């Protein structure tokens, strides 16, 4: 199940500067395992010490925020687009 993953600028040091990479996994958790295997260190920037999504990192499968779906168990169908988007705050 090949999935395209959009990488934000702040995490591109882990992907050799690539803004988009391919990964595999039936769920978001499996996809993050695949990303970690290919780009060591990236999972720790997306997940916290308990293994949950970091509070200020948003992950979308297609146009849907995974927090409103099944979180890390969200299916990532073949051909899906996953976007990792750091939250931005300010005033």
Structural domains of the chain, with CATH: 2-86 (3.10.20.30)
How far is the C-alpha of 2 from the C-alpha of 89, rounded, in Å? 32
Has residue 90 got a pLDDT over 90?
A: no
Look at the block and give the residue holding tokens 């750091």.
86
* Burial class of residue 84, CB neighbours in 10 A (0-12, 13-18, 19+): buried
- 14-46 pLDDT per residue, tens: 999 999 999 999 999 999 999 999 999 999 999
Look at the block and give the residue holding tokens 């948003």.
58
How far is the C-alpha of 74 from the C-alpha of 91, rounded, in Å? 32
């Amino acid at each position: 199940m090949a999935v395209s993953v959009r990488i934000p600028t702040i995490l591109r040091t882990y992907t050799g500067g690539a803004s988009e990479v391919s990964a595999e996994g039936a769920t978001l958790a499996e996809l993050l395992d695949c990303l970690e295997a290919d780009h060591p260190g990236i999972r720790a920037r997306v997940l916290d010490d308990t293994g949950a999504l970091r509070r200020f990192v948003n992950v979308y499968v297609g146009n849907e925020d995974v927090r409103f779906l099944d979180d890390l168990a969200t299916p990532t169908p073949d051909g899906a687009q996953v976007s990792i988007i750091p939250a931005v705050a300010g005033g």
